[in-house]
Chain A
Amino acid sequence: MKNLKYLSYIGLLIVLVAPFLFYADSITKPQMNNALLGGTVVWFATAAFWIKKGE
Chain B
Amino acid sequence: MTDATAEPQTTEVQEFEREPVPASHYKGWKSFLGMYAGEHAAGTEFVIGPLFLTAGVSAFDLLVGLFLGNLMAVLSWRYLTAKIATDVRLTLYYQLEKICGRRLVTAYNLANGILFCFLAGAMITVSATAVGIPFDMEMPKLTDTTPNGLTWVLVVLAIGAVISIVAARGYDTVSRFANIASPWMVLVFLACGVVALQGLNVRSFADFWNIFGEGSEPFPGQIKYTFWHVMLWSWFCNAAMHIGMSDLTVFRYARSASSGWTTAAGMYVGHYLAWICACLMYALYIRSGEAQVMLAAGIAPPVAPGPMTYETVGVAGLICVVVAGWTTANPTIYRAGLAFQAIFPKFSTVKVTLIAGAVATIAGLFPAFAMKLLDFVAVYGFILAPIGAIIVFDHFFAQKAGIIRNYAERVQSSFNLSVLLAWFISMAIFYSISVYQGVFLSFLTLPAWLFCGVLYLILSKFLQKNN
Contact = CB atoms under 8 A, between A and B. Distances in A.
Interface string A7-47: 00000100110111011000001001110110110011001
A1 interface: no
B194 A33 contact: no
B16 to A, nearest CB: 16
A55 B313 CA distance: 28
A36 B313 contact: yes
A53 B331 CA distance: 14
Contact of B184 (A15, A18, A20, A55): A15
A22 B313 CA distance: 11
Interface in B430-449: none
Interface SS of A by simple majority: helix
B316 A20 contact: no
B194 A54 contact: no
Given A36-B314, A37-B314, A54-B31, A16 B195 contact: no
A36 B316 contact: yes
A23 B195 CA distance: 6
Interface centre among B187, B194, B313 (most CB of A within 10 A): B187
B176 A53 contact: yes
Contact of B180 (A16, A37, A39, A44): A44
Interface residues of A, number: 25
A54 B316 contact: no
A9 B290 CA distance: 39
A44 B195 CA distance: 23
Interface string B289-314: 00000000000000000000000011
Contacts of A29: 195
Nearest to B181: A44
A19 B191 contact: yes
A19 B181 CA distance: 19
B466 interface: no
A46 to B, nearest CB: 10
Contact of A36 (B8, B35, B179, B191): B191
B420 interface: no
B34 interface: yes
Interface string B33-48: 0110000000000000
A8 B319 CA distance: 18
Nearest to A14: B187
Contacts of B184: 12, 15, 40, 43-44
B198 A36 contact: no
A39 B313 CA distance: 13
Given A15-B187, A32-B195, A36-B191, A55 B315 contact: no
B194 A15 contact: no
A32 to B, nearest CB: 7
Contacts of A53: 9, 172, 175-176, 179
Nearest to A24: B198
Nearest to B172: A53
A37 B34 contact: no
Interface of A: 12, 15-16, 18-20, 22-23, 29, 32-34, 36-37, 39-40, 43-44, 47-48, 51-55
Given A48-B180, A51-B176, 7 more contacts: A12-B187, A16-B187, A32-B195, A40-B188, A47-B180, A54-B9, A54-B179
Interface of B: 8-9, 31, 34-35, 172, 175-176, 179-181, 183-184, 187-188, 190-191, 194-195, 197-198, 313-317, 319
21 contacts: A12-B183, A15-B187, A15-B188, A15-B191, A18-B191, A19-B190, A19-B194, A22-B195, A23-B194, A23-B198, A33-B313, A36-B314, A37-B316, A39-B316, A43-B184, A48-B180, A53-B9, A53-B172, A53-B179, A54-B9, A55-B179
Q: Please provide the 9 A-B residue pairs with the shortest distance between their CB atoms, ordered closest to farther.
A: A33-B314, A36-B316, A19-B194, A19-B191, A53-B176, A15-B187, A23-B198, A40-B316, A47-B180
